[in-house]
Structure 1
């Protein structure tokens, strides 16, 4: 208590945010140290500390009810459910919390033993990073209780791509309905949940805000912990929900409309970036090519291109493979997009005429371009993956799997070509089901469960949190630290205003603890 008196005096004299975090850690560890033998003095101490901090307006007032509940048990209103062992074979894990929205501070080591039955967790996942509004409820034993996705396909077709402001408005119109439908399909209410997980980045800021505000509203009103999720990590980790033998370390190729990423996943939250896109991602190239060819964008560009390409000759148009001169694992699709646009112009293809109304000769020309584009686009993936596998095996020879996920991973041509690459290197290809390759709430909920198990979560936000609260959104958020030997001479044009990577945040917090 003498330490508390001294600390309280220091806190009253300072507005530095570091004291907030120090106090948070001290408060949590005070409760952890006390365990079950809580004295009356310690019980009365929490409201006293909380009210003092609240008066200083440093951060929202902690909930005594939540803190006590987290220390005694975290079965969180699921006594009626029988515990089932997780497919990841995770034992009980210590829980801690921090009071900033940086969800990955103060991580705890694995395989410790608090009074937490993590196999009985039920988590709601919310995803609004781009153009899909998604929610799902997942149990920590791997059971998917519900999954709901509201697509903005009509908007995509109308605007020829994602219009951030329109996408935000569409999210706002359906988010309540999507979340409620996910709960209804799971036969649960908000109070039955153990936690809420939500994507906080990377993505479009306007869209991310809608999901985060909804998640915080639920967590605040029902006194639930909240887990901020990295969108690309969720794409990688959802494979562990279905492949029980997929343990760290493994490689992952994450391919979508906004990202191309090759990573070595050494552990949860510990990633090495082997390669990334320096301009446009493969999904962006697919979408633009589909638009220029007059295809139906309500299905997204990937499936439309894949279907039309079956009718064409993949060798008929000679597109060059990007970045042949750069011996690294980075990606570039901007140049290939330009080649495709020029080829379309040379064939006098009018994108205003939909493929369904094109003449047979016009359709044949479009099919040849689609097939040639797809061959070169995927060949670029193959070459980069081949080199990345060599780098990854040099770092960790125990790697057995390559996970391929993200929206483009639902393309069967992509899967078949990459499967040949991994077979040559005695690895195994792991792809989530196509419905979980595109953006979805299941991957967010599952990633939330994985981090929740090791204590990376936030306590409930205030129940009456103002709508104009400044949120920690991370629209440009790298997943891992760049592999030193793989740095490319090619310069990315997207370096400004990038948030520190998830891996660096976790490493920094681990160093703080040691």
Structure 2
């Protein structure tokens, strides 16, 4: 069984082809960073327009690379949300159009589910159940993954997402966009102890998180500090340490409360090497195991959508012409399935 997948939830156009026996056959990704960087963030209208220009050539390229034709494809998966509604509509509309033309099912996929299942693309992957830290530019949440389609959100950010806080702080520091990789690179030259930022809500009994106060504290320090390279590196180091501490403290509580010893990190911020090291240290501390996707599958991509789509296609091949596009789509509301 072979499936093609489309990812257009934000500012990256992705297409992938996945075979249930041969694995990932093609993985194409076009980033719009060069378009949005001069604005310091994603401009939704520009994002959706660029998806329109890039999606069809990427689909054709993926088919060529995988030596596939329309007759080889058994279904098409597309990101139906959450994300920028204009961008989602591009992928959803094209996905359904292809499904109708090729007479195959169209499978709407939750973008967050795609991220949660991204580590399954690796040879060494977790078994169920596991705790997942899903951390990106738009979402930060701790999820108990019982099975595919069975998710329980244990905690989430009550304000800014971790990735959003990184981007906004990088903008205050005039580093550019996207901010996460820039702060991470700069932090490697930072001096420990020169600055210290607060760790909001770490003593709160629940698993919810907050990053708005951390961002505000950074803004205050940046406004009164010199703008030399070492000072910026020291600020980046302190900010990254605080952000990682918040995430690790909450993850440790989640593991203790559930008794689960497998932890996954996914989403764009999971590419941060300091966070990965912290997760690995936490797993060793509790006698557990940490898992994460390779760097190319941390950010938005169609490979994870293809994997999720294949799993759902095997359960049901039913399809209709209703195009699903949701700016918000809580992962807890997904249909519970067992594979």
TM-score by length of 1: 0.64
Give the counterpart of 1:305 among 152, 162, 183: 183
Q: Offset of 1:314 from its aligned partner?
A: 3.4
Q: Partners of 2:173 and 2:202 in 1: how far apart? A: 26
Contact 1:257 1:283 in 2 (8 A): yes
Contact 1:190 1:218 in 2 (8 A): no
* Residue 196 of structure 2 is aligned to residue 318 of structure 1: yes
Q: Partners of 2:203 and 2:25 in 1: how far apart? A: 48
Contact 2:108 2:324 in 1 (8 A): no
Q: Secondary structure at the match of 1:472?
A: coil
Alignment of 1:19-418 (within 5 A): 121-141=1-21, 143-244=23-124, 246-297=126-177, 300-347=178-225, 349=227, 362-393=228-259, 399-418=260-279
Q: Rg bigger for which structure?
A: 1
Alignment of 1:429-448 (within 5 A): 429-448=290-309
For 1:328-361, what per-residue CA distance to the aligned partner results, in whole angstroms no more than 9, with x for missing partners? Answer: 1112111111111111111154xxxxxxxxxxxx
- 1:245–1:289: structure 2 CA closer, same or farther, 3 Å change rule? closer
Contact 2:263 2:291 in 1 (8 A): yes
TM-score by length of 2: 0.95
Contact 1:142 1:241 in 2 (8 A): no
**1:59 corresponds to which residue?**
none
**1:94 corresponds to which residue?**
none
For 1:372-413, what per-residue CA distance to the aligned partner results, in whole angstroms no more than 9, with x for missing partners? Answer: 1000000000111011111221xxxxx442111111111111
Looking at secondary structure, tell me which structure has more strand per residue.
Answer: 2
Spell out structure 1 runs of 4+ moving beyond 6 A. none
Q: Secondary structure at the match of 1:238?
A: helix
Alignment of 1:481-500 (within 5 A): none
Q: Offset of 1:238 from its aligned partner?
A: 1.9
Q: Partners of 2:60 and 2:216 in 1: how far apart? A: 44
Contact 1:314 1:375 in 2 (8 A): no
Contact 1:311 1:368 in 2 (8 A): yes
Contact 1:198 1:229 in 2 (8 A): yes
Q: Partners of 2:186 and 2:299 in 1: how far apart? A: 20
Q: Partners of 2:302 and 2:32 in 1: how far apart? A: 16
Q: Secondary structure at the match of 1:126?
A: strand
Q: Offset of 1:472 from its aligned partner?
A: 2.5
Contact 1:281 1:331 in 2 (8 A): no
Unaligned segments of structure 2, at least 5 residues: none
**1:476 corresponds to which residue?**
328
Q: Offset of 1:416 from its aligned partner?
A: 0.1
Q: Offset of 1:423 from its aligned partner?
A: 1.3
**2:319 corresponds to which residue?**
459
- 1:243–1:265: structure 2 CA closer, same or farther, 3 Å change rule? farther
Q: Offset of 1:458 from its aligned partner?
A: 3.7
Larger RCO, structure (CA 8 Å, separation 6 or more): 2
Unaligned segments of structure 1, at least 5 residues: 1-120, 350-361, 394-398, 462-469, 481-500
Q: Partners of 1:126 and 1:245 in 2: how far apart? A: 23
Q: Secondary structure at the match of 1:144?
A: strand
